[in-house]
Structure 1
Amino acid sequence: MRADAARNRERIVDAARELFVEWGAEVPLDEVARRAGVGNATLYRHFADRDALVRGVVAHVTDSVAARARTALADDGDPFDALCRFVFGAVEERIGALCPMISHAFDREHPELLAARDRLDALVARLLDRAQRAGAVRPDVAVGDLLMALSQLSRPLPGTGCGQLEQFMARHVRLFLDGLRAPAPSRLPGTPATLEALRRPV
């Protein structure tokens, strides 16, 4: 891909992510092109339809969060501090914005999405395992617990806007991280949320 084409694709994906967070995955594609500063023809050259654009945004956000996890794993310092940096970084990427997009009727089993998801899952599992082996994180949580909490913490409540979320996000993330610390002051009900259990059809 030529450099100018790659820049246009990146602008489109960034604009789409912002608008999906603000308005949901049904935002007009004309508005995505306008926000990206490109013509409609340029948008459709990169993304043939809405499903392709949604898939591109989901893969982009997933890869961005995976990059945050990779950076945290490269830190040889305190494992819990590294996990905390990843969690704050993942929330900044607005991973919770994926939820309404993934509920959109498109192919969730697309190879591009599966590959991005697998990369993220493996990196987060290593981060969590390292902190647990160091005795810094309670042993009764799993990767699914962590990713589910990240999703909820970075998603506005119904009836509220993104602005309200930004005011309180760091505070609520810190509350969550304090709850991960070992030794745990209480016993969690149920069993740890594994990725397999979260993705099992109901």
Structure 2
Amino acid sequence: MTATSSAKVTQPRLRADALRNRERIIAAARQMFVEHGADVPLDEIARRAGVGNATLYRHFADRRELVHHVTLSVMDRIADQAESARTEETDAFEALRRFVHKAADERIGALCPLISHTADKGHADLLAARYRLNSEIDALMAAARESGQLRTDIGVGDLMVAVTQLTRPLPGLGQTPRSHETGSVCMDFDRFVHRHLQLYLDGLATPARSELPGTAASLEDLRPKT
């Protein structure tokens, strides 16, 4: 077993129906955190998941615990996308492209404030998930670099900055559009994400057209300093 696979977070074994409810709650919470922010009422999350409040609290004692597991879920899904792209694509740079677009679909930029300010960043499960995520993306980038297609002066952190910034809600607009702004061009921002990611990816290809200032960023560099 490799270090990356052994670091994948495992959850306690549950009955099939209980596991389905737990996964539905996490999926609903992730969607609503993206749409409305971290303070969305838990009973609305339960309603979106199609379960009762008692079921939600049976799985998650409070908001902090739910945020913790949403964070783990997002990190694990992104690591899965990196692993799948690396093992299924024959062209290393196309694997990188595939991963970046899939990671953007996870809307991790919208979740960043939630993860940074609420999650227990030192928890063993989060450390393991972060290790696996970093290892999978690093392996993906290493393959593209070794193929001669990816410039050599960037790191995992550089890549994830672009993905998170392009999937972050626009300043001042919140997570959901206000009714009087329905016609605003900003409301269609999401449809430009993959277009601009493609432009960014073109800038990562060799030969590099300029020398980047500073040094390559790691995933660790993106963690808030306490």
| Structures share fold, TM-score greater than 0.5 | yes
Q: Which residue pairs with 2:167 in the alignment?
A: 154
1:75 aligns with 2:75: no
In 2: Cα distance, 1:133 partner to 1:156 partner:
35
2:141 aligned with 1:117, yes or no? no
Identify which of 29, 33, 49 aligns with 1:16: 29
Flag as ranges the 4+ runs of structure 1 deviating above 6 A: none
CA distance in 2, matches of 1:50, 1:32: 11
Shift of residue 196, structure 1, vs aligned partner? 3.2
Q: Quote the Cα distance in structure 2 between the aligned partners of 1:186 and 1:120.
A: 29
Equivalence for 2:63: 50
Higher relative contact order (CA 8 A, sep 6+): 2
The equivalent residue for 1:198 is 222
Q: What SS is found at the alignment partner of 1:168?
A: helix
Please give the TM-score of this superposition, normalised by the length of structure 2: 0.85
Distance apart, 1:76 and its partner CA = 4.9
- Where in structure 2 are the equivalents of 1:86-165 lying within 5 Å? 86-160=99-173, 163-165=187-189
AA matched with 2:195 = R
Deviation at 1:33, TM superposition (A): 0.6
Letter in 1 for 2:192: F
Please say which of residues 103-112 and 146-155 is displaced more in the overlay: 103-112
Describe the SS at the equivalent of 1:157.
Answer: coil
Any stretches of 5+ residues in structure 2 without a counterpart?
1-13, 177-186
Structure 1 residue 120, shift from structure 2 partner: 0.7
Report the alpha carbon displacement of residue 115 of structure 1 after superposing the two structures with TM. Answer: 1.1
Partner Cα separation in structure 2 for residue 168 and residue 150 of structure 1: 13
Taking only aligned residues, the RMSD between alpha carbons, in angstroms, comes to 1.5
In structure 1, list runs of 5 or more residues that go unmatched: none
Q: Take 1:164 and 1:19, find their aligned partners in 2: how far apart are those partners?
A: 19
**Selected match of 1:170 from 179, 189, 194:** 194
Equivalent residues, number: 202
Cα gap change, 1:30/1:153 in structure 2, threshold over 3 Å: closer, same or farther? Answer: same
Corresponding letter in the other structure for 2:50: G
Task: Assess if the C-alpha contact under 8 Å between 2:153 and 2:216 holds in 1.
Answer: yes
**Counterparts of 1:91 and 1:32 in 2: how far apart (Å)?**
23
User: Does the Cα contact within 8 Å between 1:144 and 1:194 map onto a contact in 2?
Assistant: yes
Deviation at 1:166, TM superposition (A): 1.8
Q: Distance in 2 between matches of 1:58 and 1:118?
A: 14
Q: In 2, Cα distance between the equivalents of 1:200 and 1:96? A: 15
Contact 1:99 1:151 (8 Å CA) reproduced: yes
Amino acid at match of 2:211: R
Query: Which stretch has the larger CA shift, 156-165 or 97-106?
Result: 156-165
Contact 1:65–1:95 (CA under 8 A) maintained in structure 2: no
Letter in 2 for 1:41: A
Counterpart of 1:16, as a letter, is A
Q: Distance in 2 between matches of 1:59 and 1:46?
A: 15
Contact preservation (8 Å) 1:90, 1:150? yes
Of the structure 1 ranges 159-168 and 26-35, higher mean CA displacement relative to structure 2 is found in: 159-168
Residue matched to 2:210: 186
Amino acid at match of 2:23: E
